[in-house]
Structure 1
Amino acid sequence: MFEEFTLERVELPDATLRVRHGGSGPPVLLLHGHPRTHTTWYRVAPLLAEHHTVVCPDLRGYGQSSKPADTDDHGGMAKRALADDMVALMAHLGHRRFAVVGHDRGSYVAFRLAMDHPEQVSHLAFLGLVPIGEALERANERFARLWWHWFFFGQPKKPERAILADPDAWYGNSPEKRVQMGAENYADYYAAVHDPATVHAMLEDYRAGLGIDREHDAADREAGRSLRCPTLVLWPLFDDEEELYADILSIWRPWAADLRGHGLRSGHHLAEEVPEELAAALLGFLNGG
């Protein structure tokens, strides 16, 4: 994986992150979701690296990056804290201004990064999902039926016990999944979901989402803040997003003046399932197409 990319551990003020980076040109930061690690991008990153410097970290709490101490407000896994890590990481690598692409929970980090540090984000791309506050305001019966895990993960202790009792059953590990993900990517993910410290941190991510992250979104909306950079939203047509939200772009429009987007014929993990189509869409956006 990631031929000609550099793999290293970077010590930051509040976290130590495992990160791969490679390529040349304008920088783009790729942020993975739950329960993946940065290796989820291994099919997309080399395609982007033909035109861009590509940076792929394990987010704080995920994969082989450091795990924060627990706090009552779950602030160690707040998207603001993870976004601050990304600013520090990119500065360490010499990038003051950069594009950001987020998938799943990484989309929420990307959103918070662009809201809190608008001068440093040139372009912003979300793969699925809507802002956390918007999602929770629309948490009707359909949301509870399809994404009930948000609320289960938000409970104390019980999710860890359920998942760690049988991670393979919980995350659906199978020969088919290994083929779809690719052997090395699957091995990295498999190690993560079997590590108690990583599982706990990933759940703290969801606990932060139901509390402090929602509060940050609400404060932005109350203050009338919005995204300042060009914004692309891509969503999988074979997942739940359209069933949940119907017109996804209409939810994003109050947050982003320069907005575009469309669906891709994929399941939830676009970077693994349709890497060429995803890379083409991202390059068209990043390069002004």
Structure 2
Amino acid sequence: MLEGFTDERVEVADGVVLRVRVGGEGPPVVLLHGHPRTHATWYRVAPLLVAAGSRVVLPDLRGYGASTAPAPRADHAQASKRAMAADVVALLRSLGHESFAVVGHDRGSYVALRCALDHPGAVARLTVVDGVPIGEALRRADARFAEAWWHWFFYARPDLPERAIDADVDAWYRLDGRARAQMGEAFDDVRAALHRPEVVRAMLEDYRAGLGVDRAHDDADRSAGRTVACPVQVLWSARDDLVDLYGDVLAVWRPWVSGALTGAPVESGHHVAEEAPEELARLLLEHLRG
């Protein structure tokens, strides 16, 4: 998997070390995974971007995979998207890049957005896949949202989710033959991470931060009128529920973007990097090349 990529450990904050794989030469692009994946989810997409002339950076976000899982704080700020975004910027700077493109899927899309809002001089282009800003999602949350995305609220409960998940990780995340077929070579990397209780706890802290500190950051930005000035691409899986929940996905994003905004569906289920890597890579390259 990811032949030709280096496999490194990079300290990005006090006590926080990210596992990262890096490959290729050219303009840098960092790909940010979602829950409950690791950097390995991109293993089919990343080589296509490298072949097209990009330097591709694949971190495990803090708390995920083999990266540091910081000890929980009462306000869960150690798992905030602001902290994760600062990690990403520090990582890219350590690799010699002051400016880069960022792509985020699922939970990674919130980190990608926070990179662009908190570090506008660092992010040249932004792509979000299968996500709207956390503040927007919670502002629109209704019974239909709660039924479909119940895990947001269950994961935010103290202690109980850890007990339920750790009791049988394979059953909870359906790590069976079907999952192995979908994830392919990423399966073993993801499964190994999920069998570490500290990773499960850190992933839940991600959701706890989402309902509190992350929402507060989003709401503060909206109140202050902060927007993303760089070109923004929004992609969504045609067989997922983003359109069902939000209708015009680009209309949700429009108030957040002062620059160019484009978007398109991808014929795929939610885990688009694994299910439709060629189509995803094609759309990403269209955006990256401007």
The TM-score range, normalised by the shorter chain, is over 0.9
SS at match of 1:211: helix
Match of 2:80 in 1: 78
Deviation at 1:12, TM superposition (A): 2.2
The 2-side partners of 1:11 and 1:137 are apart by 36
SS at match of 2:158: coil
The 2-side partners of 1:263 and 1:44 are apart by 17
Alignment of 1:87-98 (within 5 A): 87-98=89-100
Match of 2:140 in 1: 138
The 1-side partners of 2:13 and 2:223 are apart by 31
The 1-side partners of 2:115 and 2:7 are apart by 23
Match of 1:108 in 2: 110
The 1-side partners of 2:250 and 2:283 are apart by 16
The 2-side partners of 1:193 and 1:268 are apart by 19
Deviation at 1:240, TM superposition (A): 1.3
Give percent identity, aligned residues only. Answer: 62
Alignment of 1:118-267 (within 5 A): 118-182=120-184, 184-257=185-258, 258-267=260-269
TM-score (structure 2 length as normaliser): 0.98
Of 107-116 and 9-18, the range deviating more from structure 2 = 9-18
Match of 1:277 in 2: 279
Match of 1:6 in 2: 6
The 2-side partners of 1:105 and 1:261 are apart by 18
Could you report, residue by residue, the CA deviation over 1:82-127 in whole angstroms, capped at 9, with x for unpaired residues?
A: 0000111001000100000000000000010100000010000001
Deviation at 1:70, TM superposition (A): 1.2
SS at match of 1:118: coil
Q: Which amino acid aligns with 1:63?
A: G
Could you report, residue by residue, the CA deviation over 1:174-218 in whole angstroms, capped at 9, with x for unpaired residues?
A: 212101111x31001111111100000000000000000000001
Cα-Cα RMSD: 0.7
SS at match of 2:273: helix
SS at match of 2:192: helix
Q: Which amino acid aligns with 2:18?
A: L
Could you report, residue by residue, the CA deviation over 1:223-244 in whole angstroms, capped at 9, with x for unpaired residues?
A: 1100010000000011111111
TM-score (structure 1 length as normaliser): 0.98
The 1-side partners of 2:208 and 2:93 are apart by 29
- The total of aligned residue pairs comes to 287
Match of 2:38 in 1: 37
Could you report, residue by residue, the CA deviation over 1:136-161 in whole angstroms, capped at 9, with x for unpaired residues?
A: 01110110010000000000000000
The 1-side partners of 2:186 and 2:27 are apart by 26
Q: Which amino acid aligns with 1:188?
A: D
Deviation at 1:69, TM superposition (A): 1.6
Deviation at 1:283, TM superposition (A): 0.2
Q: Which amino acid aligns with 1:88?
A: A
SS at match of 2:19: strand
Gaps of 5+ in 1: none
SS at match of 1:49: helix
